[in-house]
A and B are shown apart, each in its own frame.
Chain A
Amino acid sequence: MRVSVEEVFETVNMTLDHHFDIRTVTLGINLKDCIDRNFDKFSRRLQMRIVEKGRLLNKHAHLIEQKYGIPIINRRIAVTPASLLLEPLPRTATTAVKVAKSLDTAAKKAGIDFIGGFGAMVQKGMTASDENLIDAIPQALSRTDRVCGFLNLASTVAGINMNAVAKCGHILRELAKRSKNGIGCAKMAVFANVPEDNPFMAGAHHGIGEPDFSLNIGISGPGVVRNVVLQNPDCDLTQLSEVIKRTVFKITRAGELIGREMAKLMNVDFGIVDISLAPTTSAGDSVAEIVEAMGVKQMGLPGSTAALAMLVDAVKKGGAMASGNVGGLSGTFIPVSEDSGMIRAVKAGTLSLEKLEALTSVCSVGLDMFAVPGDTPAEVISSIIVDELAIGVINNKTTSVRVIPVPGKKYGDIVHFGGLLGSAPIMKVAKTASPKFIARRGRIPSPIQALRN
């Protein structure tokens, strides 16, 4: 049966009027077999593989975009965590920076805007190579343009590595200092329970349980969901949940079709569809505005957490029905700087850091893209991080922190990052938090929830 005119126009309007797009096609690339004790040999192999596959990714993304008429906004690459690649190499900051630069060069040659994976899994402990990588992060990310970093600092099974958490406070401050408006920190996310197949930056990497290549898709449609919520102003919440589910089903199916076909064309495994709602600063393409369309006066006010919880649940139900390969983060992003409704809420004073933290307990993906004063002490940054990680660890979910301590700015100032990264009001944070708690180091043991065998 041929599709009806109404169905055709529903799809067409989603892309033309409500910002429906494929946010990212991310190719995961295994680099373990490129490892060598000789840096030059390693770098050559890495370059060859990334440039070849990156160009292929761009070519096919363009063809698919033409064929289906759905914009594919970003084409990205995620690689094996760099700390593994660094293991046999000299343990110096210079070497770690050289690896980052090699990844950066490869991404540029391939025409790829971001390459993820400069990071380490350190939830339980750090190898000497891991520590070397972490110490080199400020240099590596400030001296490259397209490399993104991640650290998994905690998991439900391992607990929280407080040595690494304490270190991160200093590392992030240092990274911020080395880049204009602290923007380097937008390329660095720290996690609890990081997924190995997440297609979204900054946390994307190609985990060790992955095949040689894997194509992952991140769909996005806050604008589409907001539109259907607006079209149903009077229905009860059970019905509203149904409406959201049906819409997310449709956009997930589009993602699944495009992902499968691209993977087939590129002759690589199809990985997952990440159904996260990912906002942009375009008018209407906002998760905060969905919550507001549901009936909350402004994001952050009482009611926001419940509305967001219901939204995320409906998104998951619709997405899971549409694709057997839902994975990655698959929650809802609520980045402050990249969502016009979130920015408005912070400016209006309805959304504080504390409420943002509460919101992240019901959605993914954590405290994302929020700016704090540049003179925020390292222990306060570490304290914010560990609170967020604890939510992830105890609730068996992914949480992350992407904080930008903006040098020279204070509470109430606005910082403009430009482009997709948007702008952010500097949020209020404590001048001191838990210095002694952070200084104790060690590991917060894995919670009782971990004992499930």
Chain B
Amino acid sequence: MTKNKTSQICIMTVTGIDKVGIVAKLATVMAKANINIVDINQKIMEDYFVMTMAVDIVDATVDMENIKKRLDKAAEEMSLKITFQDENIFKAMHRI
């Protein structure tokens, strides 16, 4: 990715019971839609496995609605709770 190219960062959150293959599965969903992963954070919060993943959807081959549909499917298969939102909502709410 060239430096001048615009980006549209989205944040995915994942919560649920830890198991093998969560990151692999979600990374595959992203790769298939030509979405670049730019950051991953993983923590234990309130007894849950929680992960946030920052991705750039500027070159994505599918729209937001379809990305979400694919993630919903993955969430169901692995008993996870997944959200996917444009990063600006978090910036607006948590940065002055």
Contact = CB atoms under 8 A, between A and B. Distances in A.
Are A and B physically bound partners? yes
By size class, the interface of chain A is: 20 to 34
A36 B76 CA distance: 56
Contacts of A63: 64
A5 B13 CA distance: 9
B84 interface: yes
A325 to B, nearest CB: 14
B92 A9 contact: no
A69 B89 CA distance: 9
Contacts of A9: 13, 45, 50, 52
A73 interface: no
A67 B94 contact: no
A16 B83 contact: yes
A415 interface: no
Interface in B28-67: 39, 41, 43, 45, 50, 52, 54, 64-65
A428 interface: no
Contacts of B89: 11, 68-70, 254, 257
* Residue with the greatest number of chain B CB neighbours at <10 A, chosen from A7, A8, A250: A8
A68 B13 contact: no
Nearest to B67: A66
A7 B90 contact: yes
Contacts of A378: none
A66 B71 CA distance: 13
B24 interface: no
B52 A5 contact: yes
B90 A8 contact: yes
B88 interface: yes
Nearest to A62: B65
B7 interface: no
B20 interface: no
* Residue with the greatest number of chain B CB neighbours at <10 A, chosen from A1, A5, A254, A256: A5
Nearest to B90: A3
Contact of B83 (A69, A251, A253, A256): A69
Given A3-B94, A69-B84, 18 more contacts: A3-B87, A3-B95, A5-B41, A5-B45, A5-B52, A7-B90, A7-B93, A8-B11, A9-B50, A63-B64, A66-B64, A67-B85, A68-B85, A251-B93, A253-B93, A254-B89, A254-B92, A256-B92
Nearest 4 CB-CB pairings of A with B: A69-B85, A257-B92, A3-B90, A250-B93
Interface of B: 11, 13, 39, 41, 43, 45, 50, 52, 54, 64-65, 68, 81, 83-95
22 contacts: A1-B95, A5-B50, A6-B45, A7-B90, A7-B94, A8-B13, A8-B90, A11-B93, A12-B13, A12-B83, A16-B83, A66-B64, A67-B64, A68-B85, A68-B89, A69-B86, A250-B93, A250-B94, A253-B92, A254-B92, A254-B93, A256-B92
Interface of A: 1-3, 5-12, 16, 63, 66-70, 250-251, 253-254, 256-257
